[in-house]
A = this chain, B = another copy of it.
């Protein structure tokens, strides 16, 4: 979630935090979600919910299986987000560059899309007052699983209601509160330890 993240392409890659409404946070989240050493996580998709100026919220999707032109630095993901925001977005997905997609919509829309018809799919919301990720039942992790994370502003009570109503469990990643991109690293590591890749 990028509560202040710019919803048009009118930001400067030389100043992602300022002109982009802390777009740097979302750029680092893309890196954390998708990069392995000398490879990408082909089985991960990350959705960025942009809620900042000038309004009309947008969702940008990076699909690890098909994404191209993505390097690990913030400017690289920032530039792909900017290209996505240059498209005139509608309520259905449009591809802006290979593996990067955009649509209009907010948290509720994307959670509905992700959870509809997926009976076995589990959703986890990362929050300080959750259960330690190391202590949760690991079986659901073998299936597709959704993790929801806030940004530096956390979630509003309204957003927390939406997340709870969508059937999420609350988990945390340890005793210290961390940035969203750091939490994603810890979630991916827990998944790595519980899933056989290439099996």
| B175 close to A72 (CB less than 8 A) | no
Minimum Cβ distance to chain B for residue A126 (Å): 11
Identical chains bound together, number: 2
Query: Residue A17 contacts which of B13, B71, B179, B193 (CB distance < 8 angstroms)?
Result: B71
Q: Tell me whether A63 is interfacial, beta carbon within 8 Å.
A: no
| A37 close to B192 (CB less than 8 A) | no
Question: With contacts A182-B185, A185-B185, A186-B186 known, is A176 near B71, CB below 8 A?
Answer: no
| B174 close to A36 (CB less than 8 A) | no
Chain A interface residues (CB < 8 Å from chain B): 13-14, 16-17, 24-25, 28, 31-32, 35-38, 71-75, 152, 173-179, 182, 185-186, 189, 192-193, 197
